[in-house]
Structure 1
């Protein structure tokens, strides 16, 4: 007889209103079991034969059917399959006078919940029924939870898709149907890679296999922005969150169409880029005014001062004119320097490498900063917007070295990377700083700061990383695309 442990302390189950069906031809055994069941408050219906057993209509009423193994008008092998069909939600408990182990094994193989050999121990019998009742309660709650979850998924505004360990789609809610253009019955059991661009489709299964073998995931457990593919072949941006459900052998993905958000972000980026370009044009115009007009006027004034100085015989007037000439010369130098900073002509005419060589000389002359250059001319940007943005970022970083590093040495390296990208590294061996205090410690000479560098780089598909440790210097690393952003792919380069 199967030995059942007693229920855990504190668990109290009340007999449910649905009756138990007891099928027992032996009067003594039947009465004994009725006393146990009635004493515990279970409603019981009885039958003595197979004919009486099946002479009823409402099979859904029973949560438990207790069945004698040997009935006078039929075998249990014939009865059990029919009972399973008529009362699929009822548990089956077999009682018998036989002690043959093969009967017990056969019963359990056919889905019997428990098996008792007479005489039946009342305590073990009660414990078994309580366990069955508890399991049915848990199953009922689970079914209800599953039904509620399904209702939530079916009415969710976001697409919800589940796939198995082989990457085959197992469920596809109405929002997913609307988003991707497939009906659920068309897409279920297809590989989920059918919803991805061709470039990702080729490696999708490899990512899944790697996760299952190593546990290393690039998307599971986080929110990611990706490109997806509709039934008509069109691509669109999505935000996806994937959860591993190992207990069910599934992955669940919640997907949102972010096309409108991306369009709004693109419009904002285009507007920002247009403002930045307009500002650059204004700076070039101001530089042209300084160079073509103000400097010419100042040079003309200086010529006239020189004539007046040579024509006068009054020593006091000569000294005054000489002092005015010196001040005027300083003003000319300031306007030339300002013109070069606003719009270095050499940058537009000769390129970034030559402009950085000029900048290196200028930093030495004005700030006593010795800048070592290691520049790969093959990495020379051709697009004006890219040249200007990179030049201004490098200049900002060198200003930071002058102001904060407490060193007179800096290094600028420029190299070509694969996929038509450029890397620029500005480094020093100065005092360094705590990167957690960036906002408080770092600002450029004009007070604009590192946020301006990141802004400029965002206009050309660039990224910026700053590394520093107190006493060990600073390394600023820029990586940008040499392809103008208006020609870059929708999915981006980084």
Structure 2
């Protein structure tokens, strides 16, 4: 607390006896006192910034001081106001406290209570001055910071917005302060932001507060861009402080790499389709033609040994034709492109039963059929690979495949079995001997369509593979992916 020696107080009191009593109390504590007896005398001064306290009698010869409380707060913003009165009316007290006074006394004044009040006011003002000093330092730091610094209150309303944040988001501080901070986020997040905030205030649990996360920001013109956000809760001030960094430059090479990888994946699928078409339209036709000629030669020759040789050649040729058909189906399942993922999975289920004796029970919501061909292809390949791994590792002949549409327009696919399972701590992604793709590539392939992959298992308890993918892959999402 500051030393009271010489601290200036303005006393406005018309009654000479009361004025003398208050001056005696103040003088004994070494305060410096200026006094006035009327409102006119009170207003006739230009040193308002000197006072740390103004003591006012409620009733003065030329008016009531409660009418001047707001004006005094403007003239002397650093001074506390204390009202004294000889008329203890509750309505006067209510008006005074509504106007932000520090204390209210009814005459005759108790010296001890009066001194205690002065001590409390001085302590509070010392704390306020220190807080203002800290705030001034923080403001200077915020103004000079190259990162965006934004503070919000408990209702999510923006309280401060530094120049770097102005430049980053395109809003001026004057137009964004007191607006909801969700304006700085993209629409899907914006709709849920208030719920995030209320959940945190209720539970104290958040995946954003106290952590550093990559999110999407939204500029004033609607442009979406990647940001890195660090949020700190400052409950003593009733605010959250966020430091925001525009990571567009850092993300640009990563985005170009993703776009290149996606283009390679699409090109690879196109090559597979062309190869499948080549096998179907040309090689299979040639092989069928050879088989016809073998049949003619077998029927025309009278030599039994030659007939047997031609018959054996025909059998081998039939196996070759069946193999090319199988390769064609594996490379480019026509049903996937013509009927969609759900129908393709039904075809795959039959094929797994025929070739590998795996019974795949399907629970398919056709509303979850992807609307983008790349999603169709990636999900089909991932599900096929998971079924191949069940054949290879689970030591069981049954599996379940469930596909449903989530409320946020995402597809959920669960592939599960009740086989021998494994210990995830000892799991190392392996390349499948059956398909050549392997679990190690499933997460990578899903990343091409902004999908996610989880694998849960334990020894003797089977395995559950869960995939989440978007229903539709829009162009804006391809170039501006969600973190």
TM-score > 0.5 by shorter chain: yes
Partner of 1:32: none
Out of 301, 308, 323, which is 1:319 matched to?
A: 308
Residue 407 (structure 1) shift: 0.9
Q: Which residue of 1 aligns with 2:122?
A: 111
1:474 alignment counterpart: 463
1:97-142 per-residue CA deviation (whole Å, 9 max, x = no partner) reads xxx74575255245279xxxxxxxxxxxxxxxxxxxxx99xx99x9
Given the superposition, is the C-alpha separation of residues 286 and 365 from structure 1 closer, same or farther in structure 2, using an over 3 Å criterion? Answer: same
**Structure 1: which 5+ runs fail to align?**
1-19, 24-49, 55-68, 89-99, 114-134
CA separation in 1, counterparts of 2:4 and 2:134?
Answer: 31
Residues 399, 445 of structure 1: 8 Å contact kept? yes
- How far is the alpha carbon of 1:315 from its aligned partner? 4.1
1:472 Cα deviation after fit = 1.4
Give the aligned partner of residue 220 of structure 1: 209
Choose from 238, 244, 248 the match for 1:255. 244
Q: Which residue of 2 aligns with 1:393?
A: 382
Cα deviations by residue, 1:51-100 (Å, 9 ceiling, x for unpaired): xx99xxxxxxxxxxxxxx9999x924783468994999xxxxxxxxxxx7
SS of the counterpart of 1:75? Answer: helix
Aligned to 1:407: 396
Q: Is residue 75 from structure 1 mapped to residue 27 from structure 2 by the alignment?
A: yes
Instruction: Please give the alpha-carbon distance, in whole angstroms, between the structure 1 residues aligned to 2:373 and 2:433.
Output: 23
Q: How does 1:116-195 map to 2 (within 5 A)?
A: 152-184=141-173, 187-195=176-184
Matched, 1:422 2:411: yes
User: Shift in Å at residue 338 of structure 1?
Assistant: 0.9
Distance in 2, Cα, partners of 1:213 & 1:467: 31
Matched position secondary structure for 1:111: helix
Could you tell me which residue of structure 1 aligns to residue 69 of structure 2? none
1:455 has 2:407 as partner: no
Structure 1 residues 490, 242: CA separation in 2 closer, same or farther (over 3 Å shift)? farther
Alignment correspondent of 2:102 = none
415 and 312 in structure 1: CA distance in 2 versus 1, 3 angstrom threshold: same
CA radius of gyration, larger in: 1
Q: Deviations over 1:329-357 (max 9, x none)?
A: 22222111111100122322343333323
**Whole-Å Cα distance in 2 between the matches of residues 456 and 332 of structure 1?**
31
Cα separation, partners in 2 of 1:81 and 1:392, compared to 1, 3 Å? farther
Q: Classify the secondary structure of the residue corresponding to 1:439.
A: coil
TM-score (norm 2): 0.69
CA RMSD, 1 decimal: 4.2
Compared with structure 1, are the counterparts of its residues 463 and 22 closer, same or farther at alpha carbon in structure 2 (3 Å cutoff)? closer
Q: For the residues of structure 2 that align with 1:455 and 1:264, how far apart are their CA atoms?
A: 18
**1:177-233 per-position Cα deviation (integer Å, ceiling 9, x unaligned):** 221334445544554345445665565445434433332335212233444344455
Q: Distance in 2 between matches of 1:350 and 1:203?
A: 36
Range that drifts further, 292-301 or 225-234: 225-234
The Cα of 1:431 is off from its aligned counterpart by: 0.7
CA gap of 1:482–1:469, structure 2 versus 1, over 3 A, is same
1:330 aligns with 2:319: yes
1:355 is aligned to 2:360: no
In the other structure, the counterpart of 2:353 is: 364
Partner of 1:61 in structure 2?
none
Q: Unaligned stretches of 5+ in structure 2?
A: 9-20, 35-46, 54-110
User: Residues 304 and 232 (structure 1 numbering): CA distance in 2 closer, same or farther, change over 3 Å?
Assistant: closer
DSSP 3-state at the match of 1:418: coil
Could you tell me which residue of structure 1 aligns to residue 93 of structure 2? none
Query: Judging changes above 3 Å, is the alpha-carbon distance between structure 1 residues 181 and 403 closer, same or farther for their aligned structure 2 residues?
Result: same
Question: TM-score, length-normalised on structure 1?
Answer: 0.67
Counterpart CA distance in 2 for 1:81 and 1:184 is 42
Distance 1:444 1:492, change over 3 A: farther
Distance (whole Å) between structure 2 residues aligned to residue 326 and residue 412 of structure 1: 37
Q: Secondary structure at the match of 1:239?
A: strand
Q: Secondary structure at the match of 2:122?
A: coil
Cα distance, 1:78–1:187 mapped onto 2, change above 3 Å? farther
After superposition, residues 253-332 of structure 1 pair within 5 angstroms as: 253-332=242-321
Q: Pick from 220, 227, 242: which aligns with 2:231?
A: 242
Q: Distance in 2 between matches of 1:168 and 1:22?
A: 39
